[in-house]
Amino acid sequence: MVQQWGDFTAGPYDLRIQGEGVVADRAGSLNLPGREPASLAVQKRFELEGRSLTVEYEISSSGEIEGDVDFGCEVNLHFPSQAECEAGLDGRPFSLAGPVDCGAGSIVTIVDPVLPGPLRLSSSVPGQVWSYPVQTVSQSEGGVDITWQGCSIGFKWKLDFSDATGLALRLSLNF
Confidence of residue 2 (pLDDT cuts 50, 70, 90): low
- Same structural domain for residues 163 and 150? no
Global pTM reads: 0.87
Which residues make Cβ contacts (< 8 Å) with residue 6, sequence separation at least 6? 28, 29, 30, 31, 40
- Same structural domain for residues 172 and 106? no
| pLDDT at residue 9 in the model | 77
pLDDT digits (tens, 9 = 90+) for 66-113: 777 889 999 999 988 888 999 999 999 999 988 999 999 999 999 999
pLDDT digits (tens, 9 = 90+) for 19-33: 999 999 999 988 888
- Same structural domain for residues 31 and 91? no
- Same structural domain for residues 128 and 147? yes
- Same structural domain for residues 81 and 141? yes
* Residue 12: DSSP 8-state: P
Domain of residue 144: give its range.
Answer: 74-156
Nearest to 21 by CA among 44, 1, 37: 44
* Distance in angstroms (rounded) separating the CA atoms of residues 157 and 167: 8
- Same structural domain for residues 119 and 148? yes
Task: Give the count of domains, the chain.
Answer: 2
